[in-house]
Structure 1
């Protein structure tokens, strides 16, 4: 006696009905996956149900079953009579389990090539009928073969260019920046095409990872007012800056990076790297930014979070000395310093992804190299895919021309 099925009879009947409702267009595995059973179990249930129906017809015990079976046989007979003269449906076609066809492995994307390869054995008409395509479509495909070969060659060349740019930028660039780089090189190619080619060939830019908290609020220090109010836009240089601190894992310890970013050009005008989070970390970054701008930064607004370093008296004194107006967002709201947060997300995605430094000297060198790369070579979406340095140069040139006019 066979092992009893763990599924109730009602469940099995419904499963069989669900499979048959697909009209043979869905595989056993596809239907079984929805039900949480195996495809072989469903196949067995369908076969047993079909056997029961046939037995009922033969025995004549169920008039309704006999009528249904008779109607099915008449419909099948009518379909066969309408088939091509001398060729019943499926006659002399390759067997489902044969060398040419296997269950679930039917030719789809390369059907035209398949017909060309086997037309001598089976004929174009038969193969088109088996594959469910038109002969006119096949012959049209044949007539455009030369154009397809040329298009394929262009696509191969485009993929090679995309891979080169992707590798040059250490795998950090996604489709938008790859397209911008190609455009800057004089290459005329649609952005959607770049996206499609990268998707097909699995060329993927880096994605974000979770970060560690570095903002530790000093509740005893008086905060500065929020002069930015989440308006991270600026028409001129040295009017709005923003900054923050992030961590860099190095072996079993950390390095910390503080930045100063010009909101107008997104350029990192100052930064500092240290193995501590004292106030000197942020004051050193400010001093570098002031020096990079020639010391003329009076009136610039510098926006940060409310970390202890930024509310310290040391930092306030440095800002006061250079005429910098401090601005701070609310506690626990990354949106209040979104531009600085976005910069660090990009850095960790593009530089730290997959890296495990054991030397602080090496980590500092790589950070320095990336900062230079970011300012001078990395294309920024908010700048029309110009680099920060290019954007500043164009902005200054346009201002000079307007003044000369």
Structure 2
């Protein structure tokens, strides 16, 4: 029946719904019920995409530390009446996990960067009044058949958008720098902006 309803839906621009239902011997109520179910499914998918984006923002702002419980709590503090199981499903589907689950992997350290951590200029204030003035970065670890793939990304705290990213088979300092260069090259950083990362360099002021 689902295949017939899909056929009717595809041909509705060429023929009337009544004719299509009569020819396929399908009740119009059946077709309209299928359409309602399809629309509800698409609406749920869209809502999942919006929530997944918010989860990504919170996870990145936490420097990759937050797992399901803390992400759920952060969403609820923002007024989101979310179910923990739904958050867990979306994080699992997108490979998002807190640091406590990252076994056998390590981030950029003082030895990797060759420099001592900079002063923390962000504190716990993950907000910004204007785009390009305060950004946070993190590295995501992705398992592949050929080993770990590392994704460095920078998020603008004003717009909550990823403004620069870089991928490589290593997690040396240049991975983060390449992602930052992308953001600067696209004109997404203002002079004197604050950049913040939990991977060896807590925060610094930058003049692009």
Match of 1:323 in 2: 207
Of 173, 177, 184, the match for 2:48 = 173
Match of 1:164 in 2: 42
Of 119, 137, 146, the match for 1:243 = 137
User: Aligned partners of 2:172 and 2:199: how far apart in 1?
Assistant: 14
Asked if the contact 2:107–2:171 (Cα under 8 Å) also holds between the matched residues in 1, the reply is: no
| 1:161/1:230 CA distance change after superposition, 3 Å | same
Of 164, 181, 190, the match for 1:270 = 164
Shift of 1:259: 0.7
Shift of 1:152: 10
TM-score using structure 2 length: 0.52
Asked if the contact 1:260–1:268 (Cα under 8 Å) also holds between the matched residues in 2, the reply is: yes
Of 192, 196, 217, the match for 2:109 = 217
User: Aligned partners of 1:275 and 1:221: how far apart in 2?
Assistant: 22
Asked if the contact 2:108–2:172 (Cα under 8 Å) also holds between the matched residues in 1, the reply is: no
Which has the larger share of strand?
A: 2
Asked if the contact 1:214–1:246 (Cα under 8 Å) also holds between the matched residues in 2, the reply is: no
Which has the larger share of helix?
A: 1
Shift of 1:154: 7.4
> Structure 1 runs of 4+ off > 6 angstroms?
151-155
| 1:174-323 equivalent positions in 2, closer than 5 A | 177=51, 206-208=90-92, 209=97, 210-212=101-103, 213-218=105-110, 221-293=115-187, 297-307=190-200, 310=201, 323=207
Asked if the contact 1:239–1:299 (Cα under 8 Å) also holds between the matched residues in 2, the reply is: yes
| SS at structure 1 position matched to 2:159 | coil
| SS at structure 1 position matched to 2:166 | strand
The structure with higher relative contact order (CA 8 Å, sep 6+) is 2
User: Aligned partners of 2:119 and 2:132: how far apart in 1?
Assistant: 19
Shift of 1:228: 1.0
Give RMSD over aligned pairs. 3.9
User: Aligned partners of 1:162 and 1:248: how far apart in 2?
Assistant: 32
TM-score using structure 1 length: 0.29
Aligned length: 137
Which residues of structure 1 form unaligned runs of 5+? 1-150, 179-194, 196-203, 325-405
| 1:3-402 equivalent positions in 2, closer than 5 A | 157-165=35-43, 173=48, 177=51, 206-208=90-92, 209=97, 210-212=101-103, 213-218=105-110, 221-293=115-187, 297-307=190-200, 310=201, 323=207
Asked if the contact 2:140–2:152 (Cα under 8 Å) also holds between the matched residues in 1, the reply is: yes
Residues 47-93 of structure 1, C-alpha deviation per residue, up to 9 Å, x if partnerless? xxxxxxxxxxxxxxxxxxxxxxxxxxxxxxxxxxxxxxxxxxxxxxx
- Quick check: which has more Rg, 1 or 2? 1
Asked if the contact 2:154–2:164 (Cα under 8 Å) also holds between the matched residues in 1, the reply is: yes
